[in-house]
Amino acid sequence: MALPDLVLPIFGALTAVIAQEAHKKLQWPFIDEFFHLRQCATYCAHEFSKWDNKITTPPGLYLLGTWYHHVLSALGVPDSCGATALRSLNLVGGVVALPLVLSLVRTDNFWKVNVVLLPLLYTYYFLFYTDVWATVLVVLPLLVISKHRSLKGSIYANLAAFASLWLRQTNIVWLVFVGIVLIDRRKPKSESVLQNVSNFIVQCFKDWLLLVPFAINAGLFIAFVYINGGVTFGDKENHKMTLHVVQSGFHLKPSETTFSLLSVEEKD
């Protein structure tokens, strides 16, 4: 049997073992899961007006979790809004949704496996965090415009990007990147850096219609920031935007409140 034929069985077996061990060991909410699980339980009870101000991301994860809860409940799964059930939502995102999204492009190497098994992402397959589905919905627009460099591709990409912003508002940075890639793939290529920049600017004007969906998402994001009073969704005092040189961008710096709350939860 060839090595590529063994990748899927090995990946499936490895993930199943880790998922079982995580289920045994993680008896308490892991760090910020304390907030995520509690907020999703509130949404599962259809109490959509209640919001935990310690949460800094939009309610997309909890809306998705509520839908998932109803699906599991209809299938007869007990405790369909419990920690184990909700964690399985991210497992589905990592081992089913993400590979399906990556299948939009064809590669002859193990690039897809490298993406799915990325340690910083793979860890969250077994937890109830925003990372997995936010990644799925931000990778999707990039692969859509890589395959469909047209107005239809731009619209579909921005619909997925809009959904991703409901999980992580900072994904707006990646939406800008997707727009840049779309124009760059359509512009004439040149060996000169200055000519490439010039061609890119000219192509932006030529393809202005393709950029309209991006502009709409950008406009909605700006409106959100204005109405919300900042990028942070909830706990603004303990989460301030600072320059992160290593990540070449901005990140929200959390306080130690989360970790202290976890300690309290474990002592109870």
Of the residues 87, 109, 128, which one is the last residue of a structural domain? 128
268 part of a folded domain = no
Residue-level pLDDT at 206:
92
How many domains, the chain? 2
For residues 73 and 142, membership in a common domain is answered with no
123 part of a folded domain = yes
For residues 96 and 171, membership in a common domain is answered with no
The residue behind tokens 């002859």 is 108
Q: Using an 8 Å Cβ cutoff, are 193 and 17 in contact?
A: no
For residues 184 and 101, membership in a common domain is answered with no
170 part of a folded domain = yes
265 part of a folded domain = no
The amino acid sitting at 227 is I
Of the residues 103, 128, 153, which one is the last residue of a structural domain? 128
For residues 4 and 111, membership in a common domain is answered with yes
For residues 2 and 121, membership in a common domain is answered with yes
For residues 150 and 105, membership in a common domain is answered with no
For residues 119 and 143, membership in a common domain is answered with no
d(CA 165, CA 212): 17
Of the residues 128, 151, 166, which one is the last residue of a structural domain? 128
Q: Using an 8 Å Cβ cutoff, are 112 and 102 in contact?
A: yes
Q: Using an 8 Å Cβ cutoff, are 43 and 59 in contact?
A: yes
For residues 45 and 109, membership in a common domain is answered with yes
Residue-level pLDDT at 105:
83
259 part of a folded domain = no
For residues 44 and 105, membership in a common domain is answered with yes
Q: Divide the 268 residues of the chain into consecutive groups of 10 and give the mean pLDDT of each group.
A: 67 82 76 88 91 87 94 89 89 90 79 84 89 92 90 93 92 93 90 89 93 94 86 64 56 41 34
pTM of the entire structure? 0.80
Residue-level pLDDT at 249:
47
d(CA 172, CA 21): 35
For residues 109 and 138, membership in a common domain is answered with no
d(CA 135, CA 171): 9
For residues 14 and 124, membership in a common domain is answered with yes
For residues 103 and 163, membership in a common domain is answered with no
Range of the domain at 67: 1-128
Residue-level pLDDT at 255:
42
Give the residue from 68, 79, 86 showing the smallest Cα distance to 30: 86
